[in-house]
Amino acid sequence: MPSISLNLSGLKARNEGADVRHDAPALPRSPVQARQLSKRFGANTILDNLDLEIRAGEFVALLGRSGSGKTTLLRALAGLDRISSGTLDVPQARAAVFQEPRLMPWKRAWRNVTLGLKIDQPRERARAALEEVGLAHRENAWPATLSGGEAQRVALARALVREPQLLLLDEPFAALDALTRIRMHQLILSLWRQHRPSVLLVTHDVDEAVLLADRVLVLERGRIAADIAITQQRPRSADAPQFQKVRAQLLQLLGVELDTPAVAPAPETPAPIVAPFNFSNFSI
Ligand SMILES: Nc1ncnc2c1ncn2[C@@H]1O[C@H](COP(=O)(O)OP(=O)(O)OP(=O)(O)O)[C@@H](O)[C@H]1O
């Protein structure tokens, strides 16, 4: 699998120009391999000698408290930011979708899909990608006329048209309403099944992670603190005991106290009207 190998252990390695190579390894390798990866902003170490591997076609979700460095890691994998030290192997063919669709408002939907690409028959390719996300009929729409979900599907089509081996998703469903989010979950799973890229999904939503991923990672203090395989068959029900067990485990890892009363209030005490804790759609 073609990959760029970046050895960015400081300025020296970069200046020597020996840090980018195209590998043709004898053994099949995981498309994403990070070893001892660190990212510092000034005196702040955000990623601290982190090791990460994502196998071909694997769907991985990344959870972590706010500020734990999830986006920093995703941006490094996307090649948007340089790492401070360590090694990082990522496929050349990669694409990212963010919480905001980031469409150019002065370009029609289909032009946004192929923006920056030098390809034959761009319009046909854009149309095919838009069709995959159910938006072929909106190919001529201006971004301002699209709903939030539609705009996010255009962003997804823009990623798909690049035929990524690695698809990076940074909370792409967070700004959508609950119903649209459910539809987007179904869409992303069906696209993943069809194209089989490796996926890294950054999310705050524990349920979303358990619903979609093969593996859920928890980022803490700059490293992967937990790596949990989700073995439940898809489609997954959030009501299944298996689902609830993993959810509880992840919430505990994320430091969320589940404050459920062990004993019902005595009958003579006026019971406060409190809605039962609803695990569904719990996010951090
Ligand atoms: N360009 C930057 N310059 C300085 N500090 C930064 C920069 N980008 C991120 N940081 C810091 O790195 C830390 C991690 O940020 P990051 O956005 O990766 O966290 P996150 O886990 O994605 O957070 P959230 O869940 O709230 O989106 C934060 O303390 C942030 O302030």
Same domain, yes or no: 152 and 171: no
- The answer to whether residues 254 and 248 touch, using CB atoms and an 8 Å cutoff, is no
Same domain, yes or no: 229 and 176: yes
Same domain, yes or no: 133 and 237: no
Residue 43, ligand 1, Cβ within 6 A? no
Q: What is the atom index within ligand 1 of the atom nearest the CA of 202?
A: 22
- What does the DSSP assignment read for 216-246? EEEEETTEEEEEEE--SPSSPPTTSHHHHHH
pTM: 0.84
Q: What is the atom index within ligand 1 of the atom nearest the CA of 72?
A: 18
Ligand 1, atom 7: closest residue by C-alpha: 41
Same domain, yes or no: 189 and 246: yes
Domain membership of residue 2 (yes or no) is no
Higher pLDDT residue, 80 or 22?
80
Ligand 1, atom 24: closest residue by C-alpha: 66
Domain around 181: 32-93+165-254
Same domain, yes or no: 150 and 217: no
| pLDDT above 70: residue 126 | yes
| pLDDT above 50: residue 101 | yes
Span 53-78, pLDDT tens digits: 999 999 999 999 999 999 999 999 99
Same domain, yes or no: 46 and 148: no
Residue 70, ligand 1, Cβ within 6 A? yes
Domain membership of residue 272 (yes or no) is no
Instruction: State how far the Cα of 12 lies from the Cα of 18, in Å rounded to an integer.
Output: 10
Number of separate domains in the chain: 2
Same domain, yes or no: 41 and 169: yes
Same domain, yes or no: 186 and 201: yes
Domain membership of residue 277 (yes or no) is no
